[in-house]
A and B are shown apart, each in its own frame.
Chain A
């Protein structure tokens, strides 16, 4: 029988908090987030890098947490869906997803939101085709993407307005 490798102690920075944890170095970020840190907002849909449901942000970039080892993320800034909302206030993307009906079953939603957040971070006024390209790695089986793309465009517009106000 194989013997589990020794656990390593590390501090992960997740959603702005420093969390000391112990995990095996062969475990993925997805597993550590969901199983050790009880952050179940990040979803599994394939665990092979095909569906995008497990998307999180690491240092502002989208990362498929099912293909990323947790050890690779030590000393980096991890953001999951649980960390998107500010104090008592939804992120404009979250609000737009609610209003536009962009979440049906909602299973793809966390990954979609984070992919969209990364896009808006680098491009505050994306064209429709740019939104579609940014979300092309996130599968949704329910919505047909129409309302998701609308929601991202709406959030971008509001964020631009807020920045100018």
Chain B
């Protein structure tokens, strides 16, 4: 083993620092027709008529496409319920009603302004909880109600356990939308090449994009090729199709190359977000600190279309008990259709919302029991063989306890965690919060999981070079570098002797999506196994092998018992966060972060650290500054002037990624995924830190100064306590 863990320069680094890297907007050519979307700009309405005559009269406008031009006008990653162009009804502000195709951008824009659409507004559902009511307006006519998905998990008997618990606490939590804000706005081109319709954009899953596009046009998958240019970030936001359908449709219809480049506003209005959740939790513990029961209701705003809501909800419902083995669990998750922007995949996939509630509840239980917040975690954390809420043992390789201990060790060293604060009391209060988390690596609940790679070897007596074909998107975090490193290590080659073919559905086999923290494990195993298989044939005329890697199967939950094996691999994380609260203004400053992860095996330490640091920045934004606001279905914050991403000045000066390497049984060289983990417990860690600093519980995300001030004034007192008791827990409820 020579290359593993090494900090190697990424294969694309040179192009990225010289400006040579080509992103989707950089491959637009002058001879391409330009596209402009006519967005609905209302939450819910019936389309009475679409008049395109005036638009078609604009010089340069070539066509105006509407629903009737789309051969199969329903698409979606999980459920096909979204129209490419609206047919009769619009269900959210960013719904696409028409597509103007013109010789140049200016004409396309003018044309879009001249499309006349007559609407009859319908009552809009803009609150998920209200939308669950039986008599609520339906977002999709013909459905019995607006509940898109209900997930039920039962283990033991919570009612009995609550009755005999020493302490029982209840809490309510609310989270908001989060915008992916990948820095490269959606863009792409489409053209024909030797009779194949090529769509070249940025996405997260070549072969799935191809499947959906082919279906839309009634073509065989082989008649469409999806290629990825350099991808300027994704984070789940490119998992659903956005501009790809428009490009494919227009080029297929007009038989000419087309291009589209969205503005930031179009990107924010036009693609899905992280789900807002409303969570009610009730947790009970025995006097010795054993958590005996947890009951949770989670309601997610799914927005107008299904996207990946059902899958996100399954994850959130499963992780309602975080990383603790609890004998009695009752969790009910609901995803609800509304006339808001669709919600879907975003780094963490439901886990951050669920953990926010769970990690606050655990700390509150600790205080109510006069236990240290670490100690209560230690007594309940998952161990090898622990039983999940779905009644089966966790997959082998459970490292939650080791990760927690390592995090606490680092927190003591870096933050004086556990030492009394001797500084004079001012309006600036400091505190450290601890939180843990768990997140699946790879697809869950029986979703078909595989990754395929082909490795071909060249050389006389020794292997001199290799070609690796693996259809896996590098959304920016370095998947291609990691996969190359795995191949090079397996073959004993220097990395530059391995050529990677990765970004063309026609030239590389399907390795699945760049999501669920899965590519290093899944794509990596496929590459490693294919490299081993090819090596076994070397030297020889045909030293080439294609391997499809399938991990241990997962299962859907039994509808009666709710038992099942939801995942085959998990990542484990614990964090310590030190905050400073300005009790006058409600401003939170994050001073230090320790983020400890079991990464199984770091293929490249620099890439792993980069993932953790970058994900933490998104977590800081999620918890503090990023406030996507909607009114009556309209996004009020469609620019970076109102939707605030963290800058260099918002990030803590001390960020400590801590890597443990406790092998995953399935991962290549033991590697696990890490991409999403830092977001998972972070909100809980910050809430716990604010409580440690002030005795106030902030239960809404983002934690804006107004909300912090409100929490401070609602808390019993502002004086920091050595060992604060839970403020909403009257002592007489102790048994």
Contacts and interface: CB of A to CB of B under 8 A. Distances in A.
A110 B232 CA distance: 13
A40 interface: yes
Given A98-B14, A106-B21, A50 B639 contact: yes
Contacts of A103: 10, 13, 16-17
Interface in A125-145: 128, 131-133, 135-145
A20 interface: no
A4 B106 CA distance: 10
Interface in A94-124: 94, 97-101, 103-110, 113
Nearest to B233: A105
B22 A40 contact: yes
Given A104-B478, A106-B12, A45 B653 contact: no
B614 interface: yes
B496 to A, nearest CB: 14
Given A50-B641, A101-B10, A45 B185 contact: yes
A137 B647 CA distance: 7
A143 B230 contact: no
B552 to A, nearest CB: 31
B25 A139 contact: no
B444 to A, nearest CB: 25
Contacts of B18: 41, 81-82, 84-85, 90, 94
Nearest to B593: A144
Contacts of A137: 647
Contact of B183 (A41, A132, A141, A146): A141
A39 B230 CA distance: 16
B475 interface: yes
Nearest to B110: A1
B651 interface: yes
Contacts of B13: 97-98, 101, 103, 106
A106 B476 contact: yes
Contact of A101 (B14, B58, B606, B640): B606
A50 B640 contact: yes
B618 interface: yes
A22 interface: no
A105 B618 contact: no
Given A44-B185, A51-B640, A53-B183, A105 B231 contact: yes
A106 B230 contact: yes
B613 interface: yes
B19 interface: yes
Contacts of B478: 101, 104
B495 to A, nearest CB: 14
Interface string A57-72: 0000000000000000
Contacts of A132: 648-649
Interface string B214-236: 00000000000000001111010
Contact of B617 (A34, A98, A145): A145
B264 interface: yes
A47 interface: yes
Contacts of B649: 132-133, 136
A142 B17 contact: no
A128 B651 CA distance: 13
A85 B14 CA distance: 11
A129 B380 CA distance: 41
A109 B17 contact: yes
B648 A149 contact: yes
6 contacts: A1-B58, A84-B18, A103-B10, A107-B233, A136-B647, A144-B651
Give me the 6 closest cross-chain CB pairs, A-B, nearest first.
A41-B19, A105-B476, A106-B16, A107-B232, A144-B613, A50-B640
Given A101-B478, A146-B655, 12 more contacts: A40-B25, A45-B183, A45-B185, A46-B639, A50-B264, A98-B13, A106-B17, A143-B610, A144-B610, A144-B615, A145-B647, A148-B648
Interface of B: 7, 9-10, 12-23, 25-26, 58-59, 106, 110, 180-185, 230-233, 235, 261, 263-264, 475-478, 606-607, 609-610, 613-618, 639-641, 645, 647-649, 651, 653, 655
